[in-house]
Chains A and B, each alone.
Chain A
Amino acid sequence: MGRILKELRPVYVVGIGLHRYQRASEKTYVELGLTAIREALQDAKIEWEAVESSYVGTAKLGMAAGRAMLRHLGTTGTSITHIENASATGSSAFRQACIEIAGGFSDVALAVGVDKVDPMPRAFEKNGIKDLASDAIVPFTHFALLAHDYMSRYGVTDEQIAQVAVKNHRNGALNPYAHRQKERTLDEVLSDDPISGSFTRLQCCPIGEGASAVIVASEEGIKRFGIDPSRAIRVSASVSRSERVYEPGAGFDAELTRETTAIALKEADITVKELDVIEFHDAFTIEELLYVESLGLCGPGQAPHLLAEGAMDIGGQVAVSPSGGLLAMGHPTGPTGLGQIAEVTRQLRHEAGPRQQPKARTGLAHMVGLGSVCVVHVLQRP
């Protein structure tokens, strides 16, 4: 029988840093990544020499991105490992860093996600299996189809789904690291360029460039480097799962999310009601509603009502995507999952400024990635 994170050495997030998510620029990934890492080191108030191991999450840069970036911090000869897990790349880099601390291999470890807007070679398309129309049904259409099913199944309107974009853009407008920092009205969301099905451009996440860095440490690491323990946030669960065979036609993203989040809550030994902050993989509006239901915050078809009541707003029952989520904060891919951890940490430290969910103690970060894979973390203020 395997162990769960909580049974091993306690792991704490002690430093977070980001480079704003943005449209493609002239900046190299090295500059983006170093900005995020230096900010994380400064946040933890430690020197680079304290970091004993680094996990570099990138989905698009290609081979050997890590040392070419990290050497500019002053070489220390420590371990560098690259992680790719589609949209969950950053989440998996974070998980590996947590495992390294929990297992006692290091006392301080870095997970950094960085990506530019590069075309991705997609291995899963090289499997030699021809399909009928998968190349005509890319992710935005996959989720547009799920949105149509959801609307017809529960009598929900496209306006109700578009409200997710209104909320997340409102949150993103308060986040200096967000790709989209402009509030949008429902009319603006609905009248934007059509993409697929009921989705307009503002109901689909922007894919730009950026970087996120998270430093994790053991209790020994916190003591040894004089890190402020009152700003350290405990990682209480780390769960990674992949898609199985479900009933024909079942929404596999929601099913996979259901089982992964259930395990994460159990490992953290909390109920869904204890969550104050959630960052979901809301690459498309419908996803947030589906995952709210998968997590068990409400019954099937009820999420639009929860949203309309303001229960998912900052200041509501549980702040969902206070960073702006993928919809407004953006989805540069490698950084995305780590950007979620940074936001949840900021919230649980009560340092989120105008985005602060009052009295936040417990948060959850969730990513799904093509394939499909799902990675979920629960963080708690000690």
Chain B
Amino acid sequence: MIDQIALRPSVFSIRGTEELPDRPSLKGCQCKCGYVFFPRQYFGCESCGRFGDDIENIEMSGRGKIREFATVHRSQRKDLPAPYIVATIVLDAGVVIRGLLDVTDEKQLSIGQTVYSTLSSVGRDEDGREIVDLRFSINQSN
């Protein structure tokens, strides 16, 4: 477990939240104006223009509901062979995100279904540590 490193460490954390400790969390922000957003950045709030210290880090639990999904038959990414499945997910935090699903057949999916974040091995770094990327799974057990 300790030998895993996140592919995009600024986007998600291998550790869970207090509320959902067993699932990797997503790194978002909340502005002083109340606007919650993902992914994380401090250049400025899209809603009000505040920046820097007015933007606070938040960790969002890796659980949400499917809003819509699609099987992609043409990949533009060498490391991601088609077909693969993506979904728009409404996180418990209310933020709407889009991500890859850890599912091979869309027949297993339905709109409104609960999904959980999970780590998927995508290779190894020079020191032999496992590189993991975030996916969403329909299985409640990790």
Chain A positions near chain B (C-beta within 8 angstroms): 127-138, 140-141, 144-149, 152, 193-198, 245, 248-249
Per the bound structure, the CA–CA distance linking A266 and B131 in Å amounts to 55
- A245 and B36 alpha carbons, distance in the complex (Å): 11
Q: Give chain A residues whose Cβ lies under 8 Å from the Cβ of B41.
A: 128-129
- Do residues A137 and B111 form an inter-chain contact, with CB atoms below 8 A? no
- For B11, the chain A residues whose CB sits under 8 A away are 130-132
Q: A133-B100, A137-B86, A140-B74 are in contact. List 14 more A-B contacts (CB 8 A).
A: A129-B40, A130-B10, A132-B38, A132-B97, A133-B86, A136-B76, A141-B86, A145-B68, A145-B98, A194-B73, A195-B73, A196-B71, A248-B94, A248-B96
- Are the C-beta atoms of A133 and B73 separated by less than 8 Å? no
Contact B77 A135 (CB under 8 A): yes
Name the residue in B67, B77, B86 with the highest tally of chain A Cβ atoms < 10 Å from its Cβ: B86
- Cβ of B1 under 8 Å from chain A: no
Task: List B residues 51-103 near A (Cβ within 8 Å).
Answer: 67-77, 80, 84, 86-88, 90, 94-100
Q: Which 7 A-B pairs have the closest CB atoms?
A: A197-B70, A249-B96, A149-B68, A148-B68, A144-B70, A194-B73, A248-B96
Minimum CB–CB distance for B44 against chain A, Å: 11
Q: How many residues of B contact A (CB 8 A)?
A: 39
How does the 8 Å CB contact mask read for B18-46 relative to A, with 1 for contact and 0 for none?
Answer: 00000000100000000100111101001
Q: Would A132 and B99 count as touching, CB distance under 8 A? A: yes
How far, in Å, is A205 (CB) from chain B's closest CB?
14
A145 touches B88 (CB 8 A): yes
A131 near B39 (CB under 8 angstroms)? yes
* Cα–Cα distance between A129 and B84 once the two chains are bound (Å): 24
Q: How far is the CB of B110 from chain A (nearest CB, A)?
A: 9
A203 vs B48: C-alpha distance when bound (angstroms): 38
Name 20 interchain pairs, CB-CB below 8 A, sorted by A: A128-B41, A130-B11, A131-B11, A132-B11, A133-B98, A136-B80, A137-B98, A141-B70, A145-B87, A149-B67, A149-B88, A152-B68, A152-B111, A195-B74, A196-B71, A196-B73, A197-B71, A245-B46, A248-B96, A249-B67
Q: A146-B68, A248-B95 are in contact. Are A138 and B39 (CB under 8 A)?
A: no
Q: Complex: how many Å from CA A279 to CA B111?
A: 33
Question: Assuming A145-B86, A152-B68, A248-B94, is B99 touching A135 (CB within 8 A)?
Answer: no
Taking a contact as CB atoms under 8 Å apart, the answer to whether A132 and B8 are in contact is yes
Q: Are B99 and A138 in contact (CB under 8 A)?
A: no
Q: Determine if A132 and B134 form an interchain contact, defined as CB atoms under 8 angstroms apart.
A: yes
Cα separation A145 to B100 with both chains bound (whole Å): 13
Measured CB to CB, the nearest residue on chain A to B135 is: A133
Find out whether the CB atom of B94 lies under 8 angstroms from the CB atom of A148: no
Chain A residue at minimum C-beta to C-beta distance from B134: A132
A141: shortest Cβ distance to chain B, in Å? 5
- Most chain B CB within 10 A, of A128, A149, A195, A197, is at A197
Contacts of A134 in B (CB 8 A): 98
Cβ contacts under 8 Å, A138 to chain B? 76
Tell me the smallest distance from the CB of A201 to a CB of chain B, in Å: 9
Chain B residue at smallest Cβ distance from A152: B111
Cα(A187)–Cα(B99), bound, Å: 32
User: Which of A135, A145, A193, A245 is the most central at the interface, judged by chain B CB atoms within 10 Å of its CB?
Assistant: A145
Interface centre among B41, B47, B70 (most CB of A within 10 A): B70
With A130-B11, A141-B86 in contact, is A136–B72 under 8 Å at CB?
Answer: yes
**B12 CB-CB contact with A under 8 Å:** yes
**A152 CA to B66 CA, complexed, in Å:** 12
Question: Cβ of A193: which chain B residues have Cβ within 8 Å of it?
Answer: 73
Name the residue of chain B whose CB is nearest to the CB of A131. B39
Residues of B within 8 A of A148 (CB): 68-70
B77 neighbours in A (Cβ, 8 Å):
135-136
Shortest beta-carbon distance from A124 to chain B in Å: 13
Q: How far is the CB of B8 from the nearest CB of chain A, in Å?
A: 5
Quick one: closest B residue to A148, CB to CB? Answer: B68
Give the residues in chain B near A245, CB-CB below 8 Å: 35, 46-47
Chain B min CB distance to A340 (Å): 27
In the bound complex, what is the Cα–Cα distance between A134 and B90 (angstroms)?
A: 16
